[in-house]
Each structure stands twice: as structure tokens, then as C-alpha cells.
């Protein structure tokens, strides 16, 4: 059994009783027996000044990129760190003046795009130079702590899906990422991490013994998290990433896709650990609402061999080859950024889009981020807290 940082902290809370505390949390901030952190702290005589919630809100009631305003009561003032502008991603300084300790306790899913770790990074920037301690209550990386995949982001493409200098699949925990970011930005922050007990780097989430609490509306299962570091790229295309269905990110589709033709082309590529099933589906909201679209469903056959980023790039390359006049890279505002296409923000540069549009062979494309992976591995290892 793996014990989260929260469970370790709650064994002895005397250190907290004279502190002025704020909590960054959502509904994943629970003990092993699924009790909310703020209520368990209250039981031990610790009253929080306030709770900060990330994108989607404290109980993950809001869809992606939707401003979080009214939130269900939790017995505390809940301050949203995701509103109508980029400024809302940072806490107002007035909310920092009466606190000396911030607890961060949110379940990450192991991908650079997932905004909760970016909220952590930006909050660290906000308390830089202030007499405020940050305490990260660590939780497992659901994808394990070994494999990394994809490129390092170009600083010119920094956005709320690319704050941290890590690949799309980073193989680190929130606590490890916080320590990396502290050094990377040379922040003057008193940072501590409450480590887990029992977690090993080879573990996937089902091996931890911890219950899966849905961290956001379109992350219903661990299997969804497993494919997300790649399939999130489809947020930047005129292809449904499965939002509006019960299996988001596990399948993608669009009206112009002929499923059998797509599956046939994918079968020609050397993609391990996954099978591609031709499907049709109808989203109830988001892209192609109430339309029947053709697409591909991913069935992961071996989580250890499966590489989600490579898989999604293969699928994008096939779709561009089959439908060059119909596949489109979206250019609308994405995560408060209108400088670059969403696909480029997710990738971390314009390199991948350029290679796909120039019809580079998939084998060349797949090799294009290998140097970044090799460069990141020793950096990552420097911050490992677990074996």
C-alpha cells in the first residue's frame, strides 16, 4: 500500500497548529479512506485561512478552459486560480498577506499539459521572496516514474500547458517537479515536500492500492491518464478528442475520417503496446456535438511498452497523409494564448507541425525528440525522491 503525503502529514499535525495556512486543492485531496483534507485538518484543530482551487474548480465541476466562478461550499472561502484571464492564474497579493504556509495537495496525472502542476509552479513564483513556506504533499505519478517521452519546450512557447521545462511525459511526482522548478527559476521560496511511503518508480497507479478520484471532468479513469500525454495534442486539431463521450482521449474522430482506412495505415507503423480499432461515435458536447464521426479507439495492451506521445504523433501523421486538405491545426485562443497555434503550445514549439505539414516520414519525426529525452533523463534523476 502506498501512503500519500497527506496521510503522512495527518499522523502528526502539531507543527501546523500555530501556522496561518492556505490549501491548494481539489477533490483529489483525500486520505486513503477518501476523507477530504480540509475536513480532516479541521478535525485536528487546524483552521485554514482559505482554499485555492485550480482549473475545473474544487469539485471539478467545470469543463476545460471554463472560468471557475461559483463553487460549491466547502466550509471555507474558495478562491479560484482559473478565471477569465491569464492574470487569474496567479493569486491576488491580498490573499497572501495573512498566511505563512501554503499546502499543495492535488493528484497530478503525469503530463506537462495537465494544468495542476503548472498552477503549483506559478504559485511558487507568486510567493518568491515572501515569508511564506510551501509544503507539497506528494502523490504518485499515475504513469510511473521511469519513462519519459517527447520534447523539451521552447521558452518562446511558454503557456499554461508549458510552464515546466519537462517533456510531455515527465515521469516525476508533483514534489519532484516543485524541487526542479525551484532550481530552474532560482526561486527564493522555502519549499518542503512531504514524501509518500511505499511508492516505487516502476508502479502504475493500479499497483498503488489508492482509489482513483476523478481529477477533472474528462479524466474519468487511470486508462485515460495513460493515453493523455499524447492524445491531448488533438485539442489543437479539428478532430474530436472524445470530449462529450464517456471515453475521452481514448478515441478521436472527425466527420472526414474513414475509420478503416486510418486503422490500415496505422497498422503499417511500428507502434508497440497498443491496438487501433476503427469506430464511430457521437459527442454530446464540444467538437462535432451531436454529429456521428469516424475515428480510432486506442486499446493499450502493454502499459510498459506503450508510448502515448509517439502513438498520438503517429495518428496525426496518418490523418494528415490521408486528409491533407481537411485536417486543420486550430488557431483560436488556447489557454489565454493567441500567439501560437494550440498544437504548437502543447508540443512546445512549431517543429512537429512543420515536419507533419512537410510530409516528413514518421520514422524521422519519431527520432526528432530523442535528443531531448536523453538530455532530460539525468536532470530528472537529480530530483528523484523515490527508487
Percent of the chain exceeding pLDDT 70 equals 100
Distance of alpha carbon 207 from alpha carbon 216, whole angstroms:
21
Per the CB < 8 A criterion, the answer to whether 24 and 123 are in contact is yes
Mean pLDDT of 330-345: 96
User: For the segment 356-385, what is each residue's pLDDT rounded down to a tens digit?
Assistant: 999 999 999 999 999 999 999 999 999 999
| 44 confidence band (pLDDT: 50, 70, 90) | very high
pLDDT reported for residue 323: 98
CA-closest candidate to residue 48, choices 13, 72, 82: 13
The C-alpha atoms of residue 52 and residue 58 are separated, in whole angstroms, by 8
Please report which confidence band the pLDDT of residue 121 belongs to, taking 50, 70 and 90 as the band edges: very high
Which helix (H) or strand (E) element contains residue 123? helix 115-126
pLDDT value at position 256?
Answer: 98
Q: What is the pLDDT of residue 314?
A: 98
Q: Which residues pair with 3 in a beta bridge?
A: 197
Query: What are 274-329's pLDDT values in tens digits?
Result: 999 999 999 999 999 999 999 999 999 999 999 999 999 999 999 999 999 999 99
The pLDDT of residue 137: 98
DSSP 5: H
Residue 7 has pLDDT above 80, yes or no: yes
Among 25, 283, 67, which Cα is nearest to 174's? Answer: 25
Mean pLDDT of 179-192: 98
Q: pLDDT per residue over 51-107, tens digit each? A: 999 999 999 999 999 899 878 877 899 999 999 999 999 999 999 999 999 999 999
pLDDT at residue 74, as a whole number: 76
| Residue 263, φ and ψ in degrees, nearest 5 | -65, -35
Q: CA 115, 117, 121, 124 torsion: positive or negative?
A: positive
Closest C-alpha among 233, 245, 235, 250 to residue 285: 245
Domains, in order of start, for the chain: 5-216+378-382 (3.40.50.12170), 222-368 (3.90.1150.140)
CA distance 63 to 55: 9
Tens digits of residue pLDDT in 139-172:
999 999 999 999 999 999 999 999 999 999 999 9
CA 298 – CA 329 distance, rounded (Å): 22
The Cα–Cα gap between 142 and 270 comes to: 25
pTM of the predicted model, to two decimals? 0.97
The CA–CA distances, whole Å, from 71 to 29, 74, 224 equal 16, 9, 26
Read off the C-alpha cell for 289.
456535438
Other CB atoms within a 10 A radius of the CB of residue 186 amount to: 7
Instruction: Cell numbers for 265, please give them.
Output: 495505415
Q: Are strands 274-281 and 293-300 parallel, antiparallel or unpaired?
A: antiparallel
Residues 86 and 232: their CA atoms lie apart, in Å, by: 21
CA distance 349 to 155: 9
Q: What is the mean pLDDT of the chain?
A: 97
pLDDT of residue 96: 98
- Which is it for the CA torsion 286, 289, 291, 292, positive or negative? positive
Distance CA(102)–CA(22), nearest Å, equals 5
Three-class secondary structure of residue 374 per DSSP: helix
Given this model, what pLDDT does residue 75 score?
A: 84
The string over 92-103, giving b where at least 16 C-beta atoms fall within 10 Å of a residue's C-beta and e elsewhere, is eeebbeebbbbb
Amino acid at each position: 500500500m502506498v501512503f500519500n503525503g497527506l496521510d503522512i502529514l495527518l499522523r502528526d499535525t502539531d507543527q501546523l497548529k500555530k501556522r496561518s495556512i492556505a490549501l491548494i486543492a481539489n477533490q483529489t485531496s483525500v486520505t486513503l479512506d477518501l476523507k477530504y483534507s480540509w475536513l480532516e485538518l479541521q478535525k485536528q484543530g487546524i483552521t485554514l485561512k482559505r482554499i485555492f482551487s485550480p482549473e475545473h474548480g474544487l469539485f471539478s465541476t467545470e469543463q476545460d478552459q471554463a472560468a471557475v466562478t461559483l463553487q460549491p461550499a466547502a466550509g471555507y472561502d474558495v478562491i479560484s486560480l482559473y478565471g477569465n484571464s491569464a492574470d487569474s492564474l496567479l493569486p491576488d497579493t491580498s490573499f497572501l498577506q495573512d498566511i505563512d504556509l501554503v499546502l499543495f495537495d492535488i493528484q497530478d496525472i503525469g503530463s506537462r499539459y495537465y494544468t495542476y502542476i503548472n498552477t503549483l509552479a506559478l504559485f511558487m513564483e507568486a510567493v518568491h521572496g515572501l515569508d511564506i513556506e510551501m509544503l507539497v504533499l506528494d502523490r504518485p505519478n499515475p504513469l510511473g516514474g521511469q519513462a519519459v517521452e517527447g520534447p523539451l519546450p521552447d521558452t518562446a512557447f511558454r503557456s499554461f500547458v508549458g510552464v515546466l521545462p519537462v517533456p510531455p511525459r515527465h515521469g516525476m511526482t508533483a514534489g519532484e517537479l516543485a524541487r526542479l522548478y525551484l532550481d530552474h527559476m532560482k526561486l527564493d521560496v522555502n519549499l518542503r515536500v512531504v514524501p509518500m511511503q511505499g511508492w516505487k518508480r516502476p508502479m502504475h497507479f493500479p499497483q498503488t492500492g489508492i482509489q482513483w478520484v476523478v481529477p477533472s471532468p474528462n479524466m474519468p479513469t487511470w486508462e485515460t491518464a495513460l493515453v493523455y500525454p499524447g492524445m491531448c495534442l488533438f485539442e489543437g486539431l479539428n478532430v474530436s478528442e472524445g470530449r462529450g463521450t464517456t471515453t475521452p482521449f481514448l478515441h478521436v474522430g472527425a466527420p472526414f475520417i474513414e475509420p478503416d482506412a486510418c486503422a490500415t495505415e496505422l497498422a503499417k507503423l511500428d507502434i508497440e503496446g497498443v491496438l487501433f480499432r476503427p469506430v464511430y461515435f457521437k459527442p454530446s458536447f464540444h467538437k462535432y456535438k451531436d454529429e456521428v464521426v469516424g475515428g480510432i479507439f486506442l486499446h493499450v495492451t502493454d502499459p510498459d511498452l506503450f508510448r502515448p506521445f509517439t502513438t498520438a504523433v503517429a495518428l496525426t501523421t496518418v490523418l494528415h497523409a490521408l486528409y491533407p486538405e481537411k485536417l486543420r491545426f486550430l488557431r483560436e485562443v488556447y489557454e489565454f494564448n493567441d500567439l501560437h497555434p494550440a498544437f504548437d503550445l502543447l508540443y512546445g514549439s512549431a517543429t512537429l507541425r512543420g515536419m507533419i505539414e512537410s510530409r516528413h516520414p514518421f520514422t524521422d519525426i519519431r527520432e526528432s525528440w530523442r535528443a531531448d529525452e536523453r538530455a532530460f533523463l539525468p536532470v530528472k534523476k537529480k530530483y528523484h525522491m523515490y527508487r
